[in-house]
Amino acid sequence: MAMLWKFMRVAKYSKTALSPKVKVRGIPTHSRHSSSKSVPSDFAANAPCSNTMELLGKSYPQDDYSNVTEKILSKVGKDLHNRKHHPLWLIKEQVKEHFYKHYLGRRGTPLFSVYDRLSPVVTVQQNFDSLLIPQNHASRRKEDNYYLNRDHMLRAHTSAHQWDLIHSGLDAFLAVGDVYRRDTIDNTHYPVFHQMEGVRLFSCHELFSSIKDGEGLQLFEQGHRTAHKQECHTMEAVRLVEFNLKQVLTKLMTHIFGDGLQVRWVDCYFPFTHPSFEMEINFQGEWMEVLGCGVMEQQLVNS
C-alpha cells in the first residue's frame, strides 16, 4: 500500500489542473540525489524557421502540439530550489531536515531519499498515463500545459516521476522540482512554480507491527470501492495509512509554520489516490490550502 502527498507549493494553480508565508532558515544538506544532473540556464532555445527545439541539451521535433514560449523556456534550468540560500532551497532543506530527523530506517539511516535534480522535461505518458489520468481529463488540455510536442512536455507536477521512482525499487522518497502550467499571472498564480511531494509504500509488517494482536490483520481483500476505501484494501489498512499520512503531514506543517497551528482536512478527488484529502491551515484569519494527499491507487503500485 502507499500514501502520496504533495506538501510544498509556492504558487496556487488552476483547479482544472491536477491537484504553500513561512519562516525559513539555512539547514545542512545530506540528501541522496538521483543520477540526473542540474543544467545551466543559458541553453539554446529553438532557432527561427527550425522544426526542432533545443532544450537542456536535447532536440525535440515540433508539431501541432508545440506551445512552449521563449519566456517559459528562459525559466527552464534555473533550478532555484537547488540554489544555496535561495528561499525555495531553504524551505526544501527545512523539510528534508525534518524527514531525516524523524523518519529513520532499521539501520538508523534516513528512510526517505531525496530527488531534486530530475529533468523537468517528461513524456506525456509519465505526466498523465502513468497516473491513470483519463484521456479526456481537462488537465491534459493544451490550454493548461506546455507541450514540446505530442509526446513531450514540461512537467505539470512532480508526480510525473512517481512511477519511475517506484519502479526503480524505492519505497520512501521525496521528489522536488519546478513545474509548469499555463496560468494567467495574478497575485496567487504564476506559470512556473515548485512542488515537493512524498511517497511511502507499506508492507503488511510495517503497517501492523505496532498494533496489538495485529498478526491477523490483512492489507487486501476482495471488496467494493466506497467513498472511504478502494475495493482491494481492507478498512483496517486504509485507516492506519490515513492516520499515518495525516499525522506525518500535520507534524511537518507544525515544523514549518510553528506550534498552535489550526488544521482541517477536506475530502477531495485526484485520479491517482483514493481516498484523497486537502489540508488547510488557518493563516492570518483565513483558511489556506497547503497540500493535497491520499492513499495511492493500488493499480499504480501493481503496475
Q: What is the DSSP string of 156-219?
A: SSGGGGHHHHHHTT-SEEEEEEEEE-----BTTB-SEEEEEEEEEE--HHHHHTTSTTGGG--S
Q: Which residue has the higher pLDDT, 55 or 8?
A: 55
The position carrying cell 506550534 is: 259
On the question of pLDDT at 189 being above 80, the answer is yes
Q: Residue 1: which pLDDT band, with cuts at 50, 70 and 90?
A: low
On the question of pLDDT at 251 being above 60, the answer is yes
Q: What integer pLDDT is reported at residue 162 of this predicted model?
A: 96
Lowest mean pLDDT among 37-51, 86-100, 156-170, 183-197: 37-51
Fold of 56-302: BirA Bifunctional Protein; domain 2 (3.30.930)
Q: What's the whole-number mean pLDDT along residues 208-212?
A: 88
On the question of pLDDT at 176 being above 60, the answer is yes
The pLDDT > 90 percentage for the chain reads 76
On the question of pLDDT at 46 being above 60, the answer is no
Closest by CA to 271, choosing from 297, 289, 293, is 297
The position carrying cell 545542512 is: 28
Q: What integer pLDDT is reported at residue 21 of this predicted model?
A: 33
Contact (Cβ atoms closer than 8 angstroms) between residue 274 and residue 294? yes
Contact (Cβ atoms closer than 8 angstroms) between residue 172 and residue 112? yes
Q: What integer pLDDT is reported at residue 210 of this predicted model?
A: 84
Q: What integer pLDDT is reported at residue 126 of this predicted model?
A: 98
Q: Which residue has the higher pLDDT, 39 or 50?
A: 50
pLDDT winner (highest mean) among 1-10, 47-56, 215-224: 215-224
* pLDDT, the chain, mean: 86
Q: What integer pLDDT is reported at residue 216 of this predicted model?
A: 87
Distance CA 118, CA 164 (A): 11
Residue 252 burial (10 A CB sphere; 0-12, 13-18, 19+): buried
Phi, psi of 105 (to 5 degrees): -80, -175
Residue 174 corresponds to which cell in the numbers above?
521525496
Closest by CA to 101, choosing from 116, 111, 89, is 111
On the question of pLDDT at 296 being above 90, the answer is yes
Question: Within 10 Å of residue 172's Cβ, how many Cβ atoms?
Answer: 17
Q: What's the whole-number mean pLDDT along residues 68-91?
A: 97
Q: What's the whole-number mean pLDDT along residues 17-38?
A: 36
Q: What's the whole-number mean pLDDT along residues 138-154?
A: 97
Phi, psi of 231 (to 5 degrees): -65, -25
Q: What integer pLDDT is reported at residue 42 of this predicted model?
A: 38
Q: What integer pLDDT is reported at residue 7 of this predicted model?
A: 55
Q: What integer pLDDT is reported at residue 47 of this predicted model?
A: 40
On the question of pLDDT at 6 being above 60, the answer is no
β-pairing, 192-201 vs 52-55, is unpaired
Q: What integer pLDDT is reported at residue 19 of this predicted model?
A: 38
Lowest mean pLDDT among 4-13, 102-111, 126-135, 177-186: 4-13
For the stretch 107-118, pLDDT in tens is: 899 999 999 999
Domain ranges of the chain: 56-302
β-pairing, 113-115 vs 172-180, is parallel
